[in-house]
């Protein structure tokens, strides 16, 4: 299994990173950025499908609530009606799970590649020797300098950036809830995850932090085109600021000023979620 993983996922990704390094003037930071964007672009169809599926499912919630009210004493009928609703709306209730499972090995491979390609001691270098393609032998050790950072060592600034960009992305992804307990749990998790990844980055080579930051930024852009600013708009509106965006696509409760903006900007046509009004 390990051999299969190394041959199919890890080694190709590691050596792709080295190939980019050789093409991009031996600039490892640039290589990580291009590498991350490249992988995100390759997995874009999967990510896109996943995001749209999540959005479409969220949009069905009012109708699901109605069904739950209507058939609260008939579970079987409720289940039938819900599946019917999903079918009519063109939503696969498990649409998010499969893409996530497909992407997970790619993420792990990326982590491994970035960490292994910058060995800090002879044992790590020996480990790299097991996975490097011979045509890239001469590239080792890589020049880890990038914008004044040593990508082989931890950099607090990148840890902060990781936490900040992840928080923004989490906020954009968060769906609103009226339940205070669930909202509290959601908020604590939206804070906990960025802090956890910030802490991980703080303790690891900053090359991985650079990957996290770039990946988050790409994710933010993707999310923006799917659901706009999401709950982030609410955060800003509390501060008296308004984020202009296709935010009307979210079902976020908006203050009056934001609603005005929504009306002015108009609701973009959402073809992909299959909603039937």
**Shortest distance (Å) from residue 207 CB to other proteins:** 11
Position 1 contacts other proteins (CB under 8 A): no
Position 270 contacts other proteins (CB under 8 A): no
Burial of 206 (0-12, 13-18, 19+ CB in 10 A): buried
Give the residue with the Cβ less far from other proteins, 120 or 257. 120
Residues from 44 through 103 that contact other proteins (CB under 8 A)? 47, 50, 53-54, 57-58, 60-62, 64-65, 68-69, 71-73, 75, 78-79, 82-83, 86, 91, 93-97, 99-100, 103
**Shortest distance (Å) from residue 35 CB to other proteins:** 14
Angle between helix axes 156-173 and 206-227 (nearest 10 degrees) is: 20
Among 12, 15, 90, 111, binds other proteins (CB under 8 A): 111
**Shortest distance (Å) from residue 125 CB to other proteins:** 7
Give the residue with the Cβ less far from other proteins, 179 or 266. 179
Position 234 contacts other proteins (CB under 8 A): no
Position 110 contacts other proteins (CB under 8 A): yes
Among 9, 48, 190, 243, binds other proteins (CB under 8 A): 190
Position 155 contacts other proteins (CB under 8 A): no
Position 127 contacts other proteins (CB under 8 A): yes
**Shortest distance (Å) from residue 266 CB to other proteins:** 24
**Residues pairing with 146 in the sheet:** 149
Give the residue with the Cβ less far from other proteins, 74 or 257. 74
Among 22, 104, 225, 241, binds other proteins (CB under 8 A): 104
Position 129 contacts other proteins (CB under 8 A): yes
């Amino acid at each position: 299994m390990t051999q299969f993983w190394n041959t199919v996922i890890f080694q190709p990704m590691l050596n792709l990173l080295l190939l980019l390094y050789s093409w991009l003037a031996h600039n490892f930071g640039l290589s990580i950025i291009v590498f991350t964007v490249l992988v995100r672009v390759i997995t874009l169809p999967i990510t896109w499908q996943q995001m749209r599926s999540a959005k479409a499912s969220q949009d069905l919630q009012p109708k699901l609530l109605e069904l739950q009210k209507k058939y609260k004493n008939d579970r079987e009928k409720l289940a039938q009606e819900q599946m019917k609703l999903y079918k009519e709306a063109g939503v696969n209730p498990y649409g998010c799970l499969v893409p996530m499972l497909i992407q997970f090995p790619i993420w792990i491979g990326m982590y491994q590649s970035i960490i292994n390609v910058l060995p800090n001691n002879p044992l790590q270098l020996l480990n790299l020797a097991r996975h490097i393609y011979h045509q890239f032998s001469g590239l080792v050790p890589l020049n880890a300098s990038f914008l004044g950072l040593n990508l082989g060592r931890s950099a607090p600034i990148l840890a902060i950036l990781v936490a900040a960009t992840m928080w923004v992305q989490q906020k954009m992804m968060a769906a609103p809830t009226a339940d205070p307990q669930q909202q509290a749990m959601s908020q604590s998790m939206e804070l906990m995850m960025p802090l956890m990844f910030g802490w991980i980055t703080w303790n690891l080579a900053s090359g991985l932090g650079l990957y996290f930051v770039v990946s988050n930024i790409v994710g933010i852009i993707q999310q923006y085109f799917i659901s706009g600013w999401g709950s982030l708009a609410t955060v800003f509106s509390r501060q008296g600021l308004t984020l202009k965006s296709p935010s009307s696509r979210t079902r976020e409760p908006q203050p009056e000023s934001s609603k005005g903006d929504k009306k002015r900007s108009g609701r973009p046509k959402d073809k992909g979620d299959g909603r039937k009004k």
